[in-house]
């Protein structure tokens, strides 16, 4: 028995130990399948006039970089340090206190230390110290500096596209460092070498050319909405009549194209149509859709400031062309961060528009005074608050709902109470997830900032684990079966996340539930919800 191996000896022979290098700089980057997105289609980069469009493969050794790539990165870095004061400050002030380290959903889910926000930023900071600080130049590696090499570039690329720019880490930073902005800069620099991913570059190119991520032509966009009109008629007996590109309408409606083209967002789009019809019939509400500014989302935000500005500008150009008073925006995530945080200094002020006032309740949306764009959750919450909607909550009573605060509306614009207020008014059963996983501290879906592709499914599932874990808790505690959200990327990203981690929980937008509860003038007895599913438990009430 003396021959028996000791526990430690036995275990150490198993081939599953992590790299034991003590310093992160010594851990080589390994680009793993399932964790990265495919390289950008060169045609898309060409369309946008981006440099170094080419076929390249992240897992191949040769990335076909331009000969002077180090100089391009150095100069690009320098230019951004001079242009963006925040970037310079963020490069200098981190004291590596570790407050952000364990706050990132990608670190929590993947267990990869380079996904700690502090280390992700350090990937850039190490080069910053080497290239731009005397301290770094003198001390080199002892001072946390390292020169830019191909391996460092690959590490940048791998980890800048494992960040969803959700800003959860920034909530905990005592200095207020916004690591998302560091990722934004990192991606801008990578773009200078043609190193974008296709899930971003092609939607940006499509949006630039046709007005939406999928490249849907205006007539096809209208066709899709017309399908919804038919479906709504079948379900409610009421034919809604949306208006398109109508000059002189009071309000322009802009929503992410995901609502029009991808389930379950499509039911949310039907919800908007039903709500607008109701408001028109009851109160003479006057709104128009645009088939040109047919995208609320802005993947330019994940590319560069200039690209974001270009894509954002079309919303305002369309509002000007149509001569509307203000813009109502649909349930979207990063659209709202672009509007709230950047639009005003990028393409604003939109002083040709009016300060938004609800034509139905008279409420003045002061927070939208400058951008002239109102979030539909706030608009609807205001309608409910003033008793302007006739709602039959029973149609949603089979739902036990929880709410996922999307990163951008919650942390980016403070939209916390309005969606909850709406849900409570259209559903009987609402259960919030634990406090440290919602509102400002919400966990990201794991697929934002252009990472909602198929080839990186492992990354998405790992990044979404903290969110799914909290949903699982309310699912087990309260029988929650519906996860509501006000972001189109969430509506696309969360269903697979639920299928993997919490089967039995479906995903919905806010206005799908609103429209299911909304009693339309002249409607027939509803037998199904917008998804065509029988309305459970309503059979007994038919005689009431």
Positions touching other proteins (CB under 8 A) are: 1, 4-8, 10-11, 14-20, 22, 27, 30, 32, 34-35, 101-103, 107-113, 116, 214, 216, 220, 223-224, 261-263, 434, 436-437, 454-455, 457-458, 461-462, 465-466, 469-470, 473, 496, 499-501
Residue 194 or 466 with smaller CB distance to other proteins? 466
Q: Which of 455, 542, 414 is nearest to 198 (CA)?
A: 455
Whether omega for the bond prior to residue 71 falls within 30 degrees of 0, making it cis, is no
Tell me how far, at minimum, the Cβ of 454 lies from other proteins, in Å: 4
Tell me how far, at minimum, the Cβ of 501 lies from other proteins, in Å: 7
- How many angstroms separate the CA atoms of 121 and 117, rounded? 6
Residue 6 or 85 with smaller CB distance to other proteins? 6
**Which residue reads 């934002």 in tokens?**
448
Residue 26 or 540 with smaller CB distance to other proteins? 26
Residue 376 or 462 with smaller CB distance to other proteins? 462
Name the DSSP letter for residue 41: P
- How many angstroms separate the CA atoms of 106 and 167, rounded? 12
Tell me how far, at minimum, the Cβ of 215 lies from other proteins, in Å: 10
Q: Which of 156, 161, 158 is nearest to 124 (CA)?
A: 156
Q: In what order do the strands lie in the sheet with 326-329?
A: 287-289, 251-254, 326-329, 373-375
Q: Which of 221, 215, 191, 209 is nearest to 311 (CA)?
A: 209
Cα three-residue angle 40-43-45, rounded to 5 degrees: 60
What are the tokens at 526? Answer: 């509803």
- How many angstroms separate the CA atoms of 159 and 153, rounded? 10
Tell me how far, at minimum, the Cβ of 102 lies from other proteins, in Å: 5
> Where would I find the beta strands (DSSP E) of 324-392?
326-329, 373-375
- How many angstroms separate the CA atoms of 365 and 173, rounded? 31
Tell me how far, at minimum, the Cβ of 35 lies from other proteins, in Å: 7
Q: Are the C-beta atoms of 276 and 242 separated by less than 8 Å? A: yes
Tell me how far, at minimum, the Cβ of 537 lies from other proteins, in Å: 26
Quick one: three-class SS letters along 278-298?
A: HHHHHHCCCEEECCCCCCCCC
- How many angstroms separate the CA atoms of 501 and 39, rounded? 28
Residue 116 or 249 with smaller CB distance to other proteins? 116
Residue 82 or 226 with smaller CB distance to other proteins? 226
Tell me how far, at minimum, the Cβ of 270 lies from other proteins, in Å: 15
Residue 112 or 512 with smaller CB distance to other proteins? 112
Residue 355 or 455 with smaller CB distance to other proteins? 455
Tell me how far, at minimum, the Cβ of 20 lies from other proteins, in Å: 8
Residue 154 or 372 with smaller CB distance to other proteins? 154
Instruction: Classify residue 534 as exposed, middle or buried by CB count within 10 Å of its CB (0-12, 13-18, 19+).
Output: exposed
Whether omega for the bond prior to residue 162 falls within 30 degrees of 0, making it cis, is no
Residue 333 or 466 with smaller CB distance to other proteins? 466
Tell me how far, at minimum, the Cβ of 144 lies from other proteins, in Å: 16
- How many angstroms separate the CA atoms of 19 and 247, rounded? 63
Residue 18 or 174 with smaller CB distance to other proteins? 18
Beta bridge partners of 391: 518
Tell me how far, at minimum, the Cβ of 544 lies from other proteins, in Å: 31
Tell me how far, at minimum, the Cβ of 151 lies from other proteins, in Å: 18
Compute, in degrees rounded to 10, the torsion defined by CA atoms 43, 49, 55, 60. Answer: -140
List CB contacts of 338: < 8 A, sequence separation 6 or more: 298, 301, 308, 312
């Amino acid at each position: 028995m003396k021959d028996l191996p000791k526990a430690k000896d036995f275990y150490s022979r198993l081939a599953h130990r992590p790299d034991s290098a003590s310093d992160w700089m010594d851990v080589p980057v390994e680009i793993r399948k399932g964790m990265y997105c495919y390289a950008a289609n060169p045609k898309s980069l060409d369309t946008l006039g981006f440099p170094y469009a080419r076929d390249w493969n992240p897992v191949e050794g040769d990335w076909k970089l331009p000969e002077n790539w180090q100089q391009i990165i150095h100069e690009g870095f320098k230019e951004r340090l001079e242009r963006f004061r925040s970037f310079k400050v963020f490069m200098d002030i981190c004291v590596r206190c570790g407050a952000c380290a364990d706050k990132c959903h990608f670190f929590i889910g993947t267990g990869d230390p380079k996904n700690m926000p502090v280390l992700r930023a350090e990937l850039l900071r190490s080069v910053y110290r080497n290239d731009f600080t005397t301290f770094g130049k003198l001390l080199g590696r002892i001072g946390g500096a390292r020169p830019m090499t191909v391996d460092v570039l690959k590490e940048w690329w791998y980890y800048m596209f494992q960040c969803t720019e959700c800003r959860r880490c920034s909530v905990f930073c005592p200095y207020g460092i916004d690591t998302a902005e560091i990722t934004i800069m990192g991606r801008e620099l990578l773009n200078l070498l043609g190193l974008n991913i296709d899930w971003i570059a092609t939607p940006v190119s499509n949006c630039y050319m046709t007005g939406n991520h999928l490249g849907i032509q205006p007539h096809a966009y209208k066709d899709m909405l017309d399908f919804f009109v038919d479906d709504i008629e079948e379900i409610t007996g009421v034919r809604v009549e949306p208006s398109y590109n109508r000059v002189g309408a009071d309000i322009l409606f802009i929503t992410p194209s995901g609502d029009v083209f991808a389930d379950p967002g499509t039911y949310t789009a039907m919800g908007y149509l039903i709500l607008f019809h109701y408001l028109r019939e009851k109160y003479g509400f006057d709104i128009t859709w645009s088939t040109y500014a047919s995208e609320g989302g802005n993947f330019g935000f994940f590319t560069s400031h200039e690209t974001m500005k270009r894509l954002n500008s079309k919303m305002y150009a369309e509002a000007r062309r149509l001569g509307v008073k203000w813009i109502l925006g649909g349930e979207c995530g990063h659209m709202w961060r672009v509007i709230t945080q950047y639009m005003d200094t990028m393409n604003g002020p939109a002083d040709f528009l009016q300060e938004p006032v609800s034509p139905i309740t008279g409420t003045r949306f002061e927070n939208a005074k400058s951008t002239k764009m109102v979030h539909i959750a706030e608009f609807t919450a205001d309608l409910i608050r003033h008793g302007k909607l006739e709602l039959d909550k029973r149609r949603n009573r089979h739902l036990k709902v929880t709410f996922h605060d999307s990163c951008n509306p919650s942390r980016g614009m403070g939209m916390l109470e309005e969606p909850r207020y709406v849900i409570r008014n259209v559903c009987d059963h609402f259960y919030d997830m634990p406090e440290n996983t919602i509102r400002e501290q919400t966990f990201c879906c794991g697929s934002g900032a252009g990472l909602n592709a198929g080839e990186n499914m492992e990354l998405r599932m790992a990044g979404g684990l903290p969110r799914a874990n909290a949903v699982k808790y309310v699912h087990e505690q309260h029988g929650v079966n519906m996860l509501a959200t006000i972001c189109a990327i969430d509506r696309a990203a969360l269903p697979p996340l639920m299928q993997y981690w919490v089967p039995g929980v479906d995903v919905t937008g806010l206005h799908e539930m609103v429209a299911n509860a909304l009693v339309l003038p002249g409607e027939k007895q509803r037998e199904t919800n917008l998804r065509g599913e029988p309305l459970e438990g309503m059979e007994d009430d038919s005689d009431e």
